[in-house]
Chains A and B, each alone.
Chain A
């Protein structure tokens, strides 16, 4: 299967993969390989194989490089996203510079997106021709080795972030833990009990909070936000804004007298989920870490009306500082772990459930605060009037989940939370508790058993999504109560159930600013808004940006055990980077030909990675090869064509385009095109 060899032309080997039936099911792989060997100039060897990525497949390539003297390789297979590294490694093993290998994606681009076999085979030919034409112009490149800063930035102080920070700190590495709220703890700190073991959330969380707060390797930056990230894997430069607390952390003892004396009480929309009050100077909860209070400027009488200062008057160590300003800090880290968590679905978006209109419809977070001994009712389950105990309670599943009108995904934790609610409600009130579900999904170790326990405890289960919750009574017994209307789908009848209290199991949603945060850290979000992992199965905590990892619910809905596991996994990945000490940076970067650069500096401002600076002495612009990502913006923008992108220069891209058009440019002929 050897083709013609045009003199001192590079000798190209073409390897077409079947990928089982993934490619061969739609593309005539044999004919593509035969055609490449017979018709494409420069091709010395062309083969097809069932799985090119297998070790036998890789061996084929290596043997040909050695025996046939190949100096270029084209692998027509899947996306380079998946196996470019594999085949580069195979080439390197046989002594060929890995950048002399090019992949043609005939799976995602061809067989998976086409139906007609003949047309798909034609397109595969074009992809192969393009890769062959291009690879002839490739030049050997050497990756750059850069050291890894052993410090790590963890963003988000919920349970996933705490876990990641602690594991890194315990391993002896410095960690910066940045949290937006005044205290770390996240959603877990708001919870009362955790399923399925029913251990107290605070009892297992607060020890970890104080440990991370006091750890010698952890720099805790609460009430702070990351504003800017520059740099690259191993060497990130991060700008953090530390918001003014109006409390001097150096002298504050955390005694809480200021809070006690503050005359202004406002609804606490964050920690108490809108169900309780806090003062204008406050600490979200007693075990907050750090312990320092913070003044809410919008609620503070002094800030709004210029009078009061009760906190300042009563503060022993004189720690109140109304003049305090935000502080901007610059930190240097080698890796970043994002653990920014989720937001609860706003149930007002489904008006048929009456939340916000009907007083005794509550959200799941409100339940947690209602049930919590430290909450607004000291753990007593009562109606919105603050006194009445409920006799019958309905729990509505899938509020904002599994619904194309809101979020299509399943929020994964609500079924188990609902079971937990059922247990606690029956234990605390003796009320009848009804759960309305579409499918019951208790999917982890010990979860199904917990479901059985609740069946045994007498919780009522109805298979049917609740249609509406109303105060419009129709029959006797409904007056003055909430009526839940639904179809019991196992009976096939519409029913109405009068209850006193309704809990809505709201969906877990991505943070409202997840897209902006993603942009800041170089991450993309799924259609739903969750951060996208590098590979959904095999690389769940890494991302497409080297050195940036994700953990916990910012990646998708998950419960506490899974969030903790991801925090630990992300920390393990970072430790691997640190102990290796250096990383190889792709040499696919731009470079400037000094003699052609006019010093116009257009490229300086356009570079999205701040990799270009101006050398005033030489009056030319210079590119930092480590910061450059090879995006090509400057190459296209340079009015003097002084910038070229390695691995993407004009000749290479031009040849690739000619290859794609091989059957549309018959008059020129493949062999005629100038190399």
Chain B
């Protein structure tokens, strides 16, 4: 399958391992990632802080370039894949705002016109790499590629914010509070996935640069909870989350008098390891917190794929004193009244 690929600035340097491992894994899975020519920065959370229309136009140039490069696809809007959650949101948000608000569409295309470009809202499906792997490739195929299951590796699945929030119809594919796609993917790799309560809480974003105390407090919460749940590794799907949790872990330890040693790896790196790819081809070794001890735990066994089967009414155990827990039931899809 052919996909437009928008790596984003972080993946060029500070998060190069994410890019490297993404390409390696995509290769195994038969995902054809075609980088958008001459893409520019998405503006992160900074550009829109000072200029709104220009921030939208900045993103608009990427959408316009991608639309021109990817064409019309096979009747459906071609997919533009971003591995970075901030890029994923910015690209999707501008596409959606242009579709929903005519004045935004006029402003963006008015600006793009100055560069001889144009974007038709809805012409692309902006998607996150994780969602493409889970939904297009499918866990079955992922499972089939697993050569060295990561059994006994306790992983805290960390989604961060912008992968599932804000909820944009057609753009967001998982629950904004308790997503499960990364959990399921990690289980398919054989990992032991911990029930990480803060899986969608914030890593601090750019606060490390502006108000370190605030950022450290947010990072401390995440590290402490992952530690209490006895995670060996935190799996991430966003370069900002990786950078903050990894590079500032020492600073957090210093600030709070703790000694967290939690390696933070991209989910694509874990996939690569499970696929039996050599560590160096996955960009491993550039972390601040070494994953060596954690990865040493990884043995070989058959992977488990979680299959939510319909369960009959739970039976009472002999001598059971405790009250039963509520039955696990797929949360009904949240529906927001359209405004």
- Write the residues of chain A forming the contact surface with B, with a CB cutoff of 8 angstroms: 264-267, 269, 274-277, 298-299, 346, 348-352, 355-357, 359, 363, 370, 376-377, 382, 384-387, 404-406, 408, 470-474
6 contacts between A and B (CB under 8 A): A266-B313, A266-B315, A277-B316, A356-B328, A359-B325, A472-B221
B100 close to chain A: CB less than 8 A: no
A299-B313, A405-B336 known; A356+B325 contact, CB < 8 A: yes
Q: How many angstroms from the CA of A387 to the CA of B322 in the assembled complex?
A: 8
From the candidates A267, A350, A357, A405, name the one contacting B324 in the complex (CB within 8 A). Answer: A267
A277-B316, A299-B313 known; A473+B337 contact, CB < 8 A: no
A359 contacts which chain B residues (CB < 8 A)? 325
Q: How many angstroms from the CA of A651 to the CA of B178 in the assembled complex?
A: 62
- Tell whether, in the assembled complex, residue B327 and residue A266 are in contact, meaning their CB atoms are under 8 Å apart: no
Which of B224-253 touch A at CB < 8 Å?
224-225, 228
Nearest A residue to B322, CB-CB: A386
Q: How many angstroms from the CA of A299 to the CA of B224 in the assembled complex?
A: 43
In addition to A267-B324, A298-B312, A386-B323, 15 A-B residue pairs with Cβ atoms within 8 Å of each other are A266-B314, A266-B316, A269-B313, A274-B327, A298-B313, A299-B312, A348-B332, A356-B326, A356-B328, A377-B323, A382-B323, A405-B334, A406-B335, A473-B225, A474-B224
B337 contacts which chain A residues (CB < 8 A)? 404, 408
Q: How many angstroms from the CA of A549 to the CA of B314 in the assembled complex?
A: 39
- Tell whether, in the assembled complex, residue A267 and residue B221 are in contact, meaning their CB atoms are under 8 Å apart: no
How many residues of B are in contact with the other chain, CB < 8 A?
32
Q: How many angstroms from the CA of A190 to the CA of B224 in the assembled complex?
A: 41
B287 contacts which chain A residues (CB < 8 A)? none
- Tell whether, in the assembled complex, residue A387 and residue B195 are in contact, meaning their CB atoms are under 8 Å apart: no
A470 contacts which chain B residues (CB < 8 A)? 197-198
- Tell whether, in the assembled complex, residue B325 and residue A264 are in contact, meaning their CB atoms are under 8 Å apart: no
CB distance from A112 to the nearest CB of B (A): 22
Nearest A residue to B324, CB-CB: A267
B177 close to chain A: CB less than 8 A: yes
- Tell whether, in the assembled complex, residue B325 and residue A384 are in contact, meaning their CB atoms are under 8 Å apart: yes
Nearest B residue to A275, CB-CB: B323
- Write the residues of chain B forming the contact surface with A, with a CB cutoff of 8 angstroms: 175, 177-178, 195, 197-198, 201, 220-221, 224-225, 228, 312-316, 321-329, 331-332, 334-337
The 8 A-B pairs with the shortest beta carbon distances in the complex, nearest first, are A351-B178, A265-B316, A266-B313, A386-B321, A472-B225, A351-B177, A386-B322, A356-B326
A349 contacts which chain B residues (CB < 8 A)? 331-332, 334
- Tell whether, in the assembled complex, residue B322 and residue A385 are in contact, meaning their CB atoms are under 8 Å apart: yes
Please classify the interface of chain A as helix (H, G, I), strand (E, B), loop, or mixed, using the class held by over half of its residues. Answer: loop
B312 contacts which chain A residues (CB < 8 A)? 298-299
Nearest A residue to B330, CB-CB: A348
- Tell whether, in the assembled complex, residue A473 and residue B334 are in contact, meaning their CB atoms are under 8 Å apart: no
Q: How many angstroms from the CA of A408 to the CA of B197 in the assembled complex?
A: 28
Q: How many angstroms from the CA of A356 to the CA of B221 in the assembled complex?
A: 23
CB distance from B167 to the nearest CB of A (A): 9
Q: How many angstroms from the CA of A385 to the CA of B321 in the assembled complex?
A: 7
A471 contacts which chain B residues (CB < 8 A)? 197
A269-B327, A351-B177, A474-B224 known; A264+B332 contact, CB < 8 A: no
- Tell whether, in the assembled complex, residue A355 and residue B326 are in contact, meaning their CB atoms are under 8 Å apart: yes
- Tell whether, in the assembled complex, residue B323 and residue A276 are in contact, meaning their CB atoms are under 8 Å apart: yes
B313 contacts which chain A residues (CB < 8 A)? 266-267, 269, 298-299
A267-B324, A274-B327, A472-B221 known; A352+B315 contact, CB < 8 A: no
Nearest A residue to B334, CB-CB: A405
- Tell whether, in the assembled complex, residue A473 and residue B316 are in contact, meaning their CB atoms are under 8 Å apart: no
CB distance from B88 to the nearest CB of A (A): 22
Nearest B residue to A356, CB-CB: B326
From the candidates A267, A269, A351, A387, name the one contacting B331 in the complex (CB within 8 A). Answer: A351
Q: How many angstroms from the CA of A277 to the CA of B322 in the assembled complex?
A: 11
Nearest B residue to A266, CB-CB: B313
Nearest A residue to B326, CB-CB: A356
- Tell whether, in the assembled complex, residue B177 and residue A352 are in contact, meaning their CB atoms are under 8 Å apart: yes
Nearest B residue to A370, CB-CB: B323
- Tell whether, in the assembled complex, residue A473 and residue B175 are in contact, meaning their CB atoms are under 8 Å apart: no
Nearest A residue to B312, CB-CB: A298
Q: How many angstroms from the CA of A299 to the CA of B315 in the assembled complex?
A: 9
A474 contacts which chain B residues (CB < 8 A)? 220-221, 224
CB distance from A588 to the nearest CB of B (A): 37
- Tell whether, in the assembled complex, residue B322 and residue A274 are in contact, meaning their CB atoms are under 8 Å apart: no
A265 contacts which chain B residues (CB < 8 A)? 315-316
Nearest B residue to A468, CB-CB: B177
Q: How many angstroms from the CA of A472 to the CA of B332 in the assembled complex?
A: 25
Q: How many angstroms from the CA of A640 to the CA of B331 in the assembled complex?
A: 53
B224 contacts which chain A residues (CB < 8 A)? 472-474
Q: How many angstroms from the CA of A618 to the CA of B327 in the assembled complex?
A: 62
A298 contacts which chain B residues (CB < 8 A)? 312-313
Q: How many angstroms from the CA of A359 to the CA of B323 in the assembled complex?
A: 9
Q: How many angstroms from the CA of A473 to the CA of B270 in the assembled complex?
A: 28
From the candidates A264, A274, A376, A404, name the one contacting B326 in the complex (CB within 8 A). Answer: A274
B220 contacts which chain A residues (CB < 8 A)? 474
Nearest B residue to A359, CB-CB: B325
CB distance from B169 to the nearest CB of A (A): 13
